[in-house]
Amino acid sequence: MRPIITVENLGKRYRIGEREPYRTIRDSFTRALAAPWRSVRARLAGQAGAPDAGHVWALSDVNFDVMPGTVLGVIGRNGAGKSTLLKVLSRITEPTTGRIELYGRVGSLLEVGTGFHQELTGRENVFLSGAIMGMRRAEIARKFDQIVAFAEIDQFVDTPVKRYSSGMYVRLAFAVAAHLDPEILLVDEVLAVGDVTFQKKCLGKLGEVARAGRTVLFVSHNMAAIESLCEDCLMFSRGRLAARGEPLEIMADYIASEIEPGAGARELNDHPGRRRDSVTAMTRVELHSDPGAPPGTVRIGASIAIHVRYAVQRPVRPVFGVVVKTIYGVPVFCASDRFCDQLAQCDPAARGTVVCTIGKIPLLPGTYTIDLWLGDAGGDFDVIFDAISFDVLPADVTGTGRLPSAAHGPVFCDATWQLFKE
């Protein structure tokens, strides 16, 4: 079986501060004929091999194949080249170097505004988009009612799309791209524009498209969605393909590349967050989670162990506590041995490491900080606020690729649901 997408030595260069001009076939032909003479003039002028002053390579030397029926995730930080890749694959812009082979109809949902004619109505744009994808009018008409129902624009289907809100526009654009059965579907982070309910519908529809054997390239920062939908994953960095593999493995590499060196551990002797009346007893804190998780991170629903090294003048039975807070300083939960006396069974020690293990972190994705409290039976003698921070990473704990919104609170509640008929 041959690949449905082949990308070889792909590169895309932009001139900084200038728009890329539109070219006719005659312009392109003339430019190709003149290329050898431009090269000769550059050598005579001493410019051969000169660096790309005033240019930036959005993509450089990209090579990969995609087999039919693959759902391929594409991740990377902003500016890594992900959206440029989809624009080149969609033939919105032409590559500077290399070549692309596509076998089948391509449907794309990129940035808002791509693909629709502003003066045409929603109905007319549906038929126009289908025609551009190479579909017959009868095929489009057969799917038309489904598209309108999915987009929820029944009242406005005969209104020019320039009068649509951004949400209406995106709903219709996604409905067209997903329902007209392209062999290849390209989806960018544009889904983030819609509301939560619409995003759920989109992810559900993408799952249907994937199960139908279509080929999907899905660019997203939603790691739970990548994990749920994709069986293969690309990671881009500075315009180059940095890694390819299973989504969980590539996501871990991506998170690790974004984390500062030394994350997940911190010396505490001179910590600025130590309370004024504290004795300097805690000397180091380390965070440990699943072996595959990058330092300083924990996947939602996984365990986390907080290791705190201490040293005091006389042996003590330590009493240890932690307060986990949001990045805005709002306490989320507390865990303290003062309530359960597990450490009270230990022999007194002047030096040691106290480990607090939280079996299943109940936090939604985001950044959190930890306050540390160390004392003995007489009270706390060393307190450090915001001792260390950590990131909770998305994971498909619900099995749907969706998670609750952090706007409803930072805590994840794993509930079960039943229906009893009356």
Helix (H) or strand (E) holding 15: strand 5-15
pLDDT in tens, 253-263: 777 676 555 67
More confident residue, 204 or 112: 204
Percent of residues, the chain, with pLDDT higher than 70: 85
State mean pLDDT over 151-178: 84
Task: Domain of residue 127: give its range.
Answer: 5-34+51-258
Query: 244, 254, 241: which is closest to 10 by C-alpha?
Result: 241
pTM for the whole thing?
0.62
Residue 49 has pLDDT above 70, yes or no: no
Residue 50 has what pLDDT? 43
Distances from the Cα of 31 to the Cαs of 19, 20, 41, 53, 310, in angstroms? 18, 14, 14, 21, 71
Residue 242 has pLDDT above 50, yes or no: yes
More confident residue, 120 or 329: 120
Residue 244 has pLDDT above 60, yes or no: yes
Residues 245 and 272 in one domain: no
Residue 114 has pLDDT above 90, yes or no: no
Q: Do residues 140 and 126 lie in contact, with contact meaning Cβ atoms separated by under 8 Å? A: yes
Residue 227 has pLDDT above 90, yes or no: no
State mean pLDDT over 290-319: 87
Query: 117, 91, 96, 116: which is closest to 106 by C-alpha?
Result: 91
CA distance 50 to 35: 17
Q: How many domains does the chain have?
A: 2
Question: Which of 258, 285, 318 is the endpoint of a domain?
Answer: 258
416 in a structural domain: no
CATH classification at residue 338: 2.70.50.60
CATH classification at residue 168: 3.40.50.300
Residues 165 and 295 in one domain: no
